[in-house]
Amino acid sequence: MYFMKRLSVVFMLFFALACNNAGNQNTVKKDSVFQISAAAYQQEIKGKKVDLFLLTNKNKMSVFISNFGGRIVSVNVPNKTGGFTDVVLGYDSLQHYFNRKENYFGALIGRYGNRIAKGKFQLDGKTYQLAINNPPNTLHGGPTGFHNQIWDAKKLDEQSLELSYVSKDMEEGYPGTLTVKVLYHLLEDNSIAISYQATTDKKTILNLTNHSYFNLNGAGSGTINDHLLTINADKFTPVDSTLIPTGVFADVVGTPFDFRKPRAIGDSVNSSSEQIQNGKGYDHNFVLNRKSSSDMELAATVYSSISGIKLEVFTREPGIQFYGGNFLDSSLLGKKDLHYGFRTAFCLETQHFPNAPNESSFASTQLIPGKTFETKTIYKFSVQ
């Protein structure tokens, strides 16, 4: 029975990947076989089983997710040729997630997405010190953050996977036992909905997100500077040279951060403006224009005319981190041994603002016992 189940997962993988297409910089190939073996993800770590799960819908869109870090490994979406393009960066095997220099591909991020200045924050007068894993700050929940944890996985049906994780009191220096549930749901309209829920037994802080790296021409197919980006934000949070927000909300008007109308990502990415220099390109949080405080609203749109693929991001969160892949470099080998070079992927991480625990003017990221934290983000793909 177990063997049959494994065999059917392997069959589904090859079926879905046979339709897949890695694309290249100038043209999009209709079909090119991309091989991924579920076995390359099946391993027992600290008594927990790591596996690769496949979600598919009636349009044959497929999403592969590992319960190691709750990572989205591969997302194969229809392109304008009638074929499929794998639009996210990742690795061919679990092992590569342990030994390559980019740690966050596709991962669930927690307890706190993005940076906390000097790894310090206070709650009820008590100071908490976190690991400094991005000197002089803490980044993405620290070295053993959620991206490096084995989540419990429950496949609910062909289109949904539920992941859960219990983070112990003081794990990575954060107070309270935090119980987190994340639902990945592939919808019939080619959306991936990610719903997050968390509760705690002591007052704590949290900022959960997903860290997928996208290239709408296919992972490993060259620059994203030609992609057209729109961000529904009149303001952004300028940063210091260590990427900590200064606390100010600055107008995007007249700056390289004005993406209110579709504009090529590369238009001003080499500007000499102080903010672009501080971010080494784009690595900034945008303050989303919101009509309500909690409805799903359109935050950003990205489009590539090469593949014809459009990505729309909807969220309930107040902010979005637009990161343009400034720390990628071509020594990094990804799926199919393709090079993941400088600025060949972008991230749109929906979230509360970086360093909010130390900025009283930013929306609070505190969670208290008895309350359930809930948020949701949708990545929706279509062809234009």
Q: How far apart are CA 87 and CA 302, in angstroms?
A: 12
Q: Closest separation between CB of residue 104 and ligand GLA, Å?
A: 5
Tell me whether residue 309 or residue 347 sits nearer to ligand GLA (CB atom). Answer: 347
| Residue closest to ligand GLA when measured from CB atoms | 323
Question: Which member of 171, 172, 349, 359 is catalytic?
Answer: 349
The CB-of-160 to ligand GLA minimum distance in angstroms stands at 27
Please report how close the Cβ of residue 121 comes to ligand GLA at its closest, in angstroms: 18
Residue 20 identity: N
Q: Evaluate whether 357 touches 205 at the Cβ level (below 8 Å).
A: yes
Closer by beta carbon to ligand GLA, 196 or else 322 = 322
Question: What strand order describes the sheet that includes 71-78?
Answer: 52-56, 62-66, 71-78, 84-86
Spatial neighbors of 2 by CB under 8 A, at least 6 apart, are none
- Nearest distance from residue 371's CB to ligand GLA, in Å? 27
Rg (CA), the chain: 20
Chain residues binding ligand GLA by CB under 6 A are 104, 114, 139, 243, 283, 321, 323, 327, 347, 349
Which one is catalytic: 211, 227, 284, 352? Answer: 211
211 is catalytic: yes
Minimum distance, C-beta of residue 239 to ligand GLA, in the bound complex (Å):
9
Closest to ligand GLA by CB, 83 or 245? 245
Answer yes or no: are the C-beta atoms of 182 and 206 closer than 8 Å: no
The nearer residue to ligand GLA, 317 or 349, going by C-beta atoms, is: 349
Nearer to ligand GLA, 55 or 243 (CB): 243
Q: Which neighbouring-strand residues pair with 167?
A: 178
Q: How far apart are CA 357 and CA 359, in angstroms?
A: 6
Residue 217 belongs to what H/E stretch? none
| Alpha carbon separation from 165 to 77, 170, 182 (Å, rounded) | 29, 15, 9
Contact call for residues 61 and 381 (beta carbons, < 8 A): yes
**Does residue 162 have an active-site annotation?**
no
Q: How far is the CB of 199 from ligand GLA (least distance, A)?
A: 26
Nearest approach in angstroms of CB 383 to ligand GLA is 27
In this complex, which beta carbon is closest to ligand GLA, that of residue 108 or of residue 243?
243
- Nearest CA to 356 out of 300, 287, 253, 297 is that of 287
Residue 22 corresponds to which amino acid?
A: A
In the sheet that 283-287 helps form, which strands lie side by side, from edge to edge? 250-251, 235-237, 283-287, 319-323, 347-351
Q: Nearer Cβ to ligand GLA, position 55 or 356?
A: 356
Q: Which amino acid is at 123?
A: L
Tokens representing residue 237 in the block: 């949070």
Q: Give the number of other CB atoms < 10 A from CB of residue 132.
A: 16
Active-site residue list: 211, 349
